[in-house]
Structure 1
Amino acid sequence: MNYTVSVRALCEFTAREGDLDLQFAPVPTALEGIAGHAAVRSRRPKGYEKEISLEDTIELAGGRHTLHVRGRADGYDAHRQQIEEIKTCRRPPEMLPHNHRSLHWAQARVYGHMLCKARGLARLRVALVYYDIDQEKETVLEVQHEASELATHFHALCARFASWALQETEHRLCRNRCLDALRFPFPAMRAGQRQLAEAAYKAALQSRCLLAQAPTGIGKTLGTLFPVLKSMPRAELDKVFFLTAKTPGRQLALDGLALIAAGIDTADDAAGSKPAPRVLELTAREKTCEHPDKACHGASCPLARGFYDRLPAARSEAVAAGRMDKAAVRAVALSHGLCPYWLSHDLTQWADIIVGDYNHYFDMNALLRSLTDNRQWRVAVLVDEAHNLPERARKMYSGALRPSALLAAQRHGPGNVRKAARAALKACQHLYRDQTTTYQSYTALPERLSGALQVLSAALTDHVETGADRLQGPGQAALALFDTATSRTEHHPETSSRQPHDKRKVQHTQGLAHPGTPYSDADLLRLHFDILHFLRLAACFGPHSVLDVTLAGENRLNDAGTLFSLRNLVPAPFLEPAFRISHSTVLFSATLTPWDFYRDTLGLPDDTAWVDVASPFDASQLHVRIARGISTRYRDRRQSITPIIRLMAKQYCTKPGNYLSYFSSFDYLEQVADAFALRYPDIPVWMQARNMDEAARDRFLQRFTAGGCGIGFAVLGGAFAEGIDLPGTRLIGAFVSTLGLPQYNDSNEQLRQCMERFFGPERGHDYAYLYPGLRKVVQAAGRVIRSDTDSGVVHLIDDRYAQPRVRALLPRWWSVRP
């Protein structure tokens, strides 16, 4: 069997040693890196070759297997017989850790060997070219090598990798054999589950995207995982990514994979490999870090010290176990004195199935997407509860900046930062000088503002770099977190540049770097974090985005309510590359109607397949009734309160039990709940509160006991409108007192207008308001029927539910009555 590895992966596996070192090292974006490479090549003489594809193959295990190494050298000057490895940077190369420079040299020498072999060269000059994109300056490091030296170096690296390559080759053969023989973990599939499984299997074999709408209760997790795993050998897949919006979905996937694995004979085969697929769970840094008060380098954190020296043994132990969930990775990491978070990142290369959050694949510079692209993996992507992806993606590709933070930097920052912050503030004032309203959106990003922020970012970079040595304790921890959250670090170039949880963590460090002072290095780090993300979004600003300016207070710059937001409206341009590089993607949910809305807004291919799985539930299980005589429009809400509470009380008295009552806002909820409690004090009620923590949410759900009675009041689209399971008599009905439409305001009107520009005037309102609203309604109503033995009632309280275009968006199996 032929085992193929990239030059980059080979060198990362064999040439790293010493500490994990994530001290601050701002690096160029992908686009800046491309521009930097182009700038270097433009300076080369005529005849200079670029992007040279090279490869070499060596035999393993007496010729039974081969190791195929491939890659593309950046450039070759035939006149000088010099091969070049180009690295873009934002600081002098001598400031790069030795670990990184040795890795770069290893890559350059491997390319040198392969070029000598391909062209019969006896000797070659190998050069590392570091190009500072800010200074537009090259630093060239050259070493003359004999071809025999380069060959010796190459074979030494391959020898270190050979045993691992043999193990991985055997593992893949065994894995595929076991998947070929895989059996469904239950005697039979549920109704509808087979239809979903067949569609997912075909999508994987045909290398297509699939949108699958399938009702709650049929087992969508197993109905997608099982067929895609079965397809891995035939489709020649390297990996399967199972992506979720929330932690419970991730656990469901892990539980499903455990069921599948339980039916596999996990005894060691003749080669000593475990045939079961390896499963890895990726989790957020804030939930994984063992020393949040320390920085990610050997001088600060003991789990970073000697990281690469101890990594091989930990890696081998983890993959031998097969199941690498959060707890298992932590146990292995700590037993070897390693950081669990960064060990899990290394293990992504050796896992067969990876379970994680949406952002691990869809976020800007996301880990799994970058690895897929750079390693040329064939992957199948499963997107759980895919109705959440449009809104989650908008947030991934949006960012905000507060002028009050710039003002604080101008007043309290170091000299160079103060000057740059002053210029940025003037650019902000120039932008909104003619703004007559508190909110206004702009379809273009002023060059003056982006230019001023670039200068301020450079000043902050200089300050952070020169001050890194003096930062200690939590201030240094904030710095390390800033590194991993905002930079494509040299440790792991594929690391996501920004994750929402990372930003929250940085905010917790405010004022800690220098206790007792009103302004700290942690504040500057947080500002730098926001500016870098803002600039990354500015670099790809287009018709899919708007610049929102919200003004607050008399002294607008000093008011925290004044906000500059780069808001993404249509995520399709950002997500389309993720779908393009996957072999197959299956997006599934109970609410994906209409399917063309999701295809358009997510940027799915034109040939995306669609399946609407028939419900296993009978219409007699759920009585859906429309309250035609009630309007819940904003102007009618006060008048709606009395008829709503009468309807709820009548239903409760007709059949006492547990109910959920949903409203469009907390204000509306509180008004109706207060009126209901006053009018019907004998009926138990409990309410969702604003900003409930996890414990409070658990207490709310604990009120829904089997055989219990009462009404819980909740907000539509909130924590209790989807993702909760209250089977049997724990919930027998729901009231939905809203159509779920987003509020009509300037911000949402910008979204509607953008949708019209992209998809046509006839779709703007529906894409911005109607479809997102009805999706929340159907999700909330879906809490009532969770199995084929459940029964209940749903009251849709608004006269607009009687409109044919609205009725058409409700599930087909519902029997809707007046």
Structure 2
Amino acid sequence: MSANPPFIETTVATVAVRVLCAFAAKTGDLDLRFTPAPSAQDGIAGHTTVTARRAPGYQREVPLSARFGELRVQGRADGFDPATPRLEEIKTHRGDVTLIPGNHHELHWAQARVYGWMLCEQLALERIELALVYFNIDNGQETVLPVWHSAADLKAFFESLCARYVDWARAETAHCAARDTALQSLAFPFEGFRPGQRELAAAVYRSHGAGRHLLAQAPTGIGKTMATLFATLRAAPAQGTHKVFYLTARTPGRQLALHALQRLRAHPLRVLELVARDKACEHPDKACHGESCPLARGFYDRLPEAREAAAQSGWLDKASLREIAQRHDVCPYYLGQDMLRWSDVVVGDFNHFFDLSAHAWSLTVGDDLRVGVLVDEAHNLIERARLMYSAELHPGAFHAVRRSAPAALKKAMDRLHRQWSALARQHTHDHTVLPGLPGAFIEALQRHHVALSDHLVHTPEGAAGLQDWMFEVQRFLRVAEVFGDHSLVDLAHPHRASGRVRHPVITLRNLDPGPLLQPRWQAAHSATLFSATLSPMDYVNNLLGLPEDTARLDVPSPFDPGQLQVRVTPHLSTRYADRAASLDRLVDVIATQYGERPGNYLAFFSSFDYLQQALQRLQATHPALPVWAQSRGMGENEREAFVARFTESSHGIGFAVLGGAFGEGIDLPGQRLIGAFIATLGLPQVNPVTEQLRARLQTRFGRGYDYAYLFPGLQKVVQAAGRVIRGPQDEGVVVLMDERFARAEVRRLLPAWWQL
């Protein structure tokens, strides 16, 4: 791995202007109240509008650099008018410009002053006018704050920032050199590779070395986490890789990755675990600003010492980061966000790189990082990405806020109410797909958002409901900004009283996440997506928008087919219309198998309703058989208790929903699980939304039914069946309880090593 930004050389450390200023000039409170920051697209458009208004001779995106000893500072000034001479630092915003916090202004001025010194040095100027230009993208208004500075004052300010940064730069350069040396001789932490594990590691190493992406299907139990991490870290120094992101869909995946990194003992590798803000928050009853939360008050004043302690620690999982944050009286979540720039391996959820507001993604692009991305259980990314690029607004939440909203918000809320009502009158069916974004509604929502944001800055206390609603509105608008033919807008009317028109639920629903994920893949030097269920790979490749030259690997199963008995139950249908008639036969198959070989089993069903029907029938006909069941909305402790019932000496059947918490990501080796009953093909429910998905994917890929129903359903089946055989000594049975499993088109999608 090469030096983390801001460093790109070993003899001279290079830092971007904005990184230098964020490190050395950011002071005061953490304050999230000023939220009307435009999107990146809006920011670019705003800069273009402002610079287009300037006189001939005005220079845009002026590249500049300056030295301070061994430190080189570089960046691009937004605009320069040589006739004045005047340098402009342009910032786009929404809402009242006077509500921008003072420490935000100071940071913006710091950037302008650094660029100002660079220009003075480059052009031999004795003085220069600097101007902060705040551009309101909603009304096109500019707020210009001009100040003249002498070159001597600007030089002194520049050198003061660099002096605060240069020791950190030296330490980071030394850290990166030591890290790369350690990784070049990194040893595999076991005596040998498991069957299939070496093949996977070699493919990952080659792909990272070639700067290519890789789809790797490999069976459960071969050690995919260790193989992918080891190979990527070994390949990283030669490729100049700045960071490795290990991304998972579930918390157990993060823990496996952290455990593997501990086993690798790659000191001084700096490892960071990212968790969701709500799970890291120490004061969930308080808002994120200094007037409310003590950890936000003076956050940036205490951050330097906390950052230094975190860098010295090197191991920054959730518990370690929290301990350091408590010691320095700072917010653990935002300490973690700051350490993202200074960490070598980052372990987190999919959303940390792929979501619209993902910090890891913006850091990769903004700092021009060379990153390796490892995507664990990658089959989950299709549906997760759809959710990341979807949003909905519920009328109930709006009406609840509107009833108690202050007078200052009435005008914007009334405008939004009228537009929502117009949609309700125009579209009266239970479910309606609109031809495109409802422009008037979106415009009213944008104005409402600005009014909400301004109000919350002025009156932050006692506004928890307003703030939650504002976040919903903000997310909806962000999704609207990237809306395209990969998505649709639909209206769903709630149950309504006779003759009364009610506002519909409005959903921006992504169907094909590929186009929105493509920039993420382009930004990564190499990405490896791995799972036990990536078949068919064309389906995964297309819906994730991976490049055409993505390499593919299908690691053969190391298990003997004799270890797993797979049976299809004939003459049994779990179709909705057939369930009542087939219920007795279904529970008889379960009870018979259990009677022949008592032990621990999982039984999977397509829904909680179907699960309960089967459970009640089994208890009625075989009351002595021990059973336990998944329930709706299980908390973490309840899920742990469910899994804890599976012991080496216990017997019984756990009932679960296919595709839920127990269909993947749990490890029950040996006698803890000896079999699984799967009473469904896992096909999504037929409803207007899924039918829209089928039709759209038929148009885009020519295989609408397969992409919308068959492939995702059978991936869940294979994942669930994969709970049974976890190691070379395991033996078990999988009973596929539907006659459709015998069809040729279905059997082709099941693992080749299964002997049906």
Q: TM-score, normalised by structure 2?
A: 0.95
- Cα contact 1:625–1:795 (8 A) shared by 2: yes
Match of 1:191 in 2: 195
Q: Percent identity?
A: 52
Q: Out of 379, 385, 397, which is 1:393 matched to?
A: 385
Residue 31 (str. 1) matches residue 32 (str. 2)? no
Deviation at 1:556, TM superposition (A): 9.0
Deviation larger for 298-307 or 189-198: 298-307
For 1:696, the aligned partner's letter is E
Match of 1:541 in 2: 483
Deviation at 1:171, TM superposition (A): 0.8
- Cα contact 2:207–2:526 (8 A) shared by 1: yes
TM-aligned CA distance change 1:557 to 1:7, over 3 Å = farther
- Cα contact 1:398–1:567 (8 A) shared by 2: yes
Match of 1:501 in 2: none
- Cα contact 1:755–1:764 (8 A) shared by 2: yes
TM-aligned CA distance change 1:10 to 1:436, over 3 Å = closer
Match of 1:334 in 2: 326
- Cα contact 1:443–1:545 (8 A) shared by 2: no
Match of 1:808 in 2: 748
- Deviations for 1:6-59, whole angstroms, at most 9, x for unmatched residues? 110011111122332333342222222122111211210112111122223444
- Deviations for 1:716-762, whole angstroms, at most 9, x for unmatched residues? 111111111111111111111111100111110011112122222xx
| Counterpart-to-counterpart distance in 2, 1:163 and 1:703 | 54
Deviation larger for 358-367 or 439-448: 439-448
Deviation larger for 132-141 or 118-127: 118-127
For 2:614, the aligned partner's letter is V
TM-aligned CA distance change 1:332 to 1:229, over 3 Å = same
- Cα contact 2:37–2:94 (8 A) shared by 1: yes
Match of 2:52 in 1: 42
Residue aligned with 2:459, SS: helix
| Counterpart-to-counterpart distance in 1, 2:415 and 2:329 | 47
Deviation at 1:3, TM superposition (A): 2.1
Match of 1:483 in 2: none
TM-aligned CA distance change 1:191 to 1:560, over 3 Å = farther
How many corresponding residue pairs?
746
For 1:8, the aligned partner's letter is R
Which stretches in structure 2 are left out of the alignment for 5+ residues? 1-9
- Deviations for 1:52-98, whole angstroms, at most 9, x for unmatched residues? 222234443xxxxxx23221111111222211110112245443222
Q: Out of 441, 448, 452, which is 2:440 matched to?
A: 448
Residue aligned with 1:815, SS: coil
Match of 2:236 in 1: 232
- Cα contact 1:405–1:527 (8 A) shared by 2: yes
| Counterpart-to-counterpart distance in 2, 1:313 and 1:424 | 47
Deviation at 1:375, TM superposition (A): 1.0
Q: Out of 254, 258, 263, which is 1:254 matched to?
A: 258
Q: Out of 437, 451, 466, which is 2:429 matched to?
A: 437
- Cα contact 2:600–2:650 (8 A) shared by 1: yes
Residue aligned with 1:406, SS: helix
Deviation at 1:114, TM superposition (A): 2.2
For 1:87, the aligned partner's letter is K
- Cα contact 2:32–2:288 (8 A) shared by 1: yes
- Deviations for 1:185-227, whole angstroms, at most 9, x for unmatched residues? 1111111111111111111111111111111101111010011
- Cα contact 1:109–1:150 (8 A) shared by 2: yes
Please, what is the CA RMSD of the aligned residues? 2.0
| Counterpart-to-counterpart distance in 2, 1:384 and 1:529 | 29
Match of 1:672 in 2: 614
| Counterpart-to-counterpart distance in 1, 2:387 and 2:476 | 13
- Cα contact 1:409–1:418 (8 A) shared by 2: no
For 2:440, the aligned partner's letter is R
| Counterpart-to-counterpart distance in 2, 1:451 and 1:749 | 30
Deviation larger for 713-722 or 233-242: 713-722
Deviation larger for 85-94 or 229-238: 85-94
| Counterpart-to-counterpart distance in 2, 1:90 and 1:209 | 39
Deviation at 1:411, TM superposition (A): 4.0
- Cα contact 2:433–2:491 (8 A) shared by 1: yes
Deviation larger for 169-178 or 136-145: 136-145
- Cα contact 2:96–2:454 (8 A) shared by 1: no
TM-aligned CA distance change 1:33 to 1:440, over 3 Å = same
| Counterpart-to-counterpart distance in 2, 1:556 and 1:115 | 70
| Counterpart-to-counterpart distance in 1, 2:542 and 2:244 | 24
Residue aligned with 1:445, SS: coil
For 1:814, the aligned partner's letter is W
For 2:508, the aligned partner's letter is L
| Counterpart-to-counterpart distance in 2, 1:352 and 1:558 | 58
| Counterpart-to-counterpart distance in 2, 1:84 and 1:435 | 48
| Counterpart-to-counterpart distance in 1, 2:382 and 2:57 | 47
Deviation larger for 339-348 or 560-569: 560-569
| Counterpart-to-counterpart distance in 2, 1:682 and 1:306 | 63
Match of 1:497 in 2: none
TM-aligned CA distance change 1:182 to 1:408, over 3 Å = closer
| Counterpart-to-counterpart distance in 2, 1:120 and 1:611 | 59
Q: Out of 368, 375, 384, which is 1:376 matched to?
A: 368
| Counterpart-to-counterpart distance in 2, 1:757 and 1:166 | 56
| Counterpart-to-counterpart distance in 2, 1:630 and 1:318 | 59
For 2:429, the aligned partner's letter is T
Deviation larger for 11-20 or 214-223: 11-20
| Counterpart-to-counterpart distance in 2, 1:465 and 1:651 | 64
Match of 1:633 in 2: 575
- Cα contact 1:280–1:351 (8 A) shared by 2: yes
Residue aligned with 2:26, SS: coil
Residue 574 (str. 1) matches residue 516 (str. 2)? yes
| Counterpart-to-counterpart distance in 1, 2:445 and 2:252 | 40
Residue aligned with 1:425, SS: helix
Residue aligned with 1:628, SS: coil
Q: Out of 138, 157, 169, which is 2:161 matched to?
A: 157
Match of 1:103 in 2: 107
Residue aligned with 1:570, SS: coil
- Cα contact 1:407–1:557 (8 A) shared by 2: no
| Counterpart-to-counterpart distance in 2, 1:807 and 1:290 | 50
Match of 2:13 in 1: 3
Residue 426 (str. 1) matches residue 426 (str. 2)? no
| Counterpart-to-counterpart distance in 1, 2:28 and 2:415 | 43
TM-aligned CA distance change 1:148 to 1:435, over 3 Å = closer
Residue aligned with 1:785, SS: coil
- Cα contact 2:432–2:491 (8 A) shared by 1: yes
Q: Out of 303, 323, 327, which is 1:311 matched to?
A: 303
| Counterpart-to-counterpart distance in 1, 2:413 and 2:290 | 34
| Counterpart-to-counterpart distance in 1, 2:717 and 2:543 | 20
Q: TM-score, normalised by structure 1?
A: 0.88
TM-aligned CA distance change 1:296 to 1:532, over 3 Å = closer
- Cα contact 2:271–2:317 (8 A) shared by 1: yes
Q: Out of 44, 47, 69, which is 2:73 matched to?
A: 69
Residue 175 (str. 1) matches residue 179 (str. 2)? yes
Residue aligned with 1:742, SS: coil
- Cα contact 1:623–1:793 (8 A) shared by 2: yes
| Counterpart-to-counterpart distance in 1, 2:455 and 2:144 | 27
Residue 525 (str. 1) matches residue 467 (str. 2)? yes
Residue aligned with 2:234, SS: helix
| Counterpart-to-counterpart distance in 2, 1:158 and 1:412 | 50
Match of 2:131 in 1: 127
TM-aligned CA distance change 1:810 to 1:34, over 3 Å = same
TM-aligned CA distance change 1:429 to 1:21, over 3 Å = closer
Deviation at 1:436, TM superposition (A): 4.7
Q: Out of 336, 353, 358, which is 2:345 matched to?
A: 353
Deviation at 1:643, TM superposition (A): 1.9
| Counterpart-to-counterpart distance in 2, 1:392 and 1:546 | 17
Deviation larger for 109-118 or 536-545: 109-118
Deviation at 1:373, TM superposition (A): 0.8
Match of 1:611 in 2: 553
TM-aligned CA distance change 1:417 to 1:97, over 3 Å = closer
Residue aligned with 2:552, SS: strand
TM-aligned CA distance change 1:631 to 1:733, over 3 Å = same
Deviation at 1:416, TM superposition (A): 4.6
- Deviations for 1:639-688, whole angstroms, at most 9, x for unmatched residues? 22122122222222221211111111112122222222222223222222
- Cα contact 1:109–1:153 (8 A) shared by 2: yes
